[in-house]
């Protein structure tokens, strides 16, 4: 069972920041608090009663050339093909927890697609557009919000590309 919180004071500080940002951008749906952590796509989907594919997971990489953060918003059902990402943004490497927190302002498991400390280079997984409804992290491992793929694209301004690792 999830809890919808229209009372911003009841949200953890990082989720409250996201809720306010979403309101400012005209997003009417509330931030929802999961009773259990949503750190993994499977955990979030179980808590929401949705398909794993509907989880819009935010994965941060580090671009090797300039240390820029690279955010890939992928379907929870997909593994990200780092070679496909690199073809769009340049060579990338893994980002550790410190880099993620420093560049996004969020802890791993709660990285929101918007409102980062350092604006990332962002890509959206094209597979998300086969779905009507998505859930994304709202700045805290227990906080999520609902949106459509089109709203995700509008909120981030990011290109929609194929980033999924496919079986050969």
Q: What is the band of 8 on the pLDDT scale with cuts at 50, 70, 90?
A: confident
Distance CA 81, CA 107 (A): 23
Distance CA 36, CA 160 (A): 30
Q: What is the band of 9 on the pLDDT scale with cuts at 50, 70, 90?
A: confident
The residue range of the domain holding 52 is: 3-161
**Quick one: average pLDDT of 8-12?**
88
Decide if 142 contacts 33 (C-beta within 8 A): yes
Q: How many domains is the chain partitioned into structurally?
A: 1
Mean pLDDT, all residues of the chain: 93
Q: Is the pTM of this model over 0.95?
A: no
pLDDT for res 6: 56
pLDDT for res 160: 98
Q: Domain for residue 73, yes or no?
A: yes
Q: Domain for residue 167, yes or no?
A: no
CA angle 35–125–86, rounded 5-degree value: 120
Residue 152, phi-psi category: left (phi > 0), alpha (psi -120 to 50), beta (remainder): alpha
Q: Domain for residue 107, yes or no?
A: yes
Q: In degrees rounded to 5, what are phi and psi of residue 154? A: -65, -40
Distance CA 110, CA 58 (A): 8
Q: Domain for residue 36, yes or no?
A: yes
If DSSP codes are grouped into helix, strand and coil, which group holds residue 153? helix
How big is the chain, counted in residues?
Answer: 168
Q: Domain for residue 17, yes or no?
A: yes
For the chain, helix (H) and strand (E) counts, in that order, are: 5, 9
Whether the pLDDT of residue 29 is over 70: the answer is: yes
Q: pLDDT per residue over 37-84, tens digit each?
A: 777 899 899 999 999 999 999 999 999 999 999 999 999 999 999 999
Q: What is the CATH number of the domain that holds 115?
A: 3.90.960.10
Which of 30, 127, 135 has the alpha carbon at shortest distance from 75? 127
pLDDT for res 137: 96
């Amino acid at each position: 069972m999830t809890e919808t919180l229209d009372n911003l004071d009841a949200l953890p500080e990082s989720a409250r920041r996201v809720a306010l940002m979403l309101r400012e951008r005209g997003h009417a749906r509330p931030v929802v608090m999961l009773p259990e952590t949503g750190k993994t796509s499977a955990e979030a989907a179980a808590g929401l009663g949705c398909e794993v594919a509907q989880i819009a997971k935010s994965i941060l990489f580090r671009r090797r050339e300039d240390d820029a953060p690279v955010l890939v918003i992928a379907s929870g059902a997909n593994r990200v093909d780092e070679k496909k990402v690199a073809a769009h943004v340049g060579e990338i490497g893994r980002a550790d927890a410190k880099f993620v927190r420093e560049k996004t302002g969020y802890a791993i498991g709660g990285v929101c697609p918007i409102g980062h400390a350092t604006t990332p280079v962002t890509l959206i997984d094209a597979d998300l557009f086969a779905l009507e409804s998505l859930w994304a992290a709202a700045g805290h491992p227990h906080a999520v919000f609902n949106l459509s793929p089109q709203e995700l694209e509008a909120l981030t301004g990011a290109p929609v590309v194929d980033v999924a690792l496919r079986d050969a």
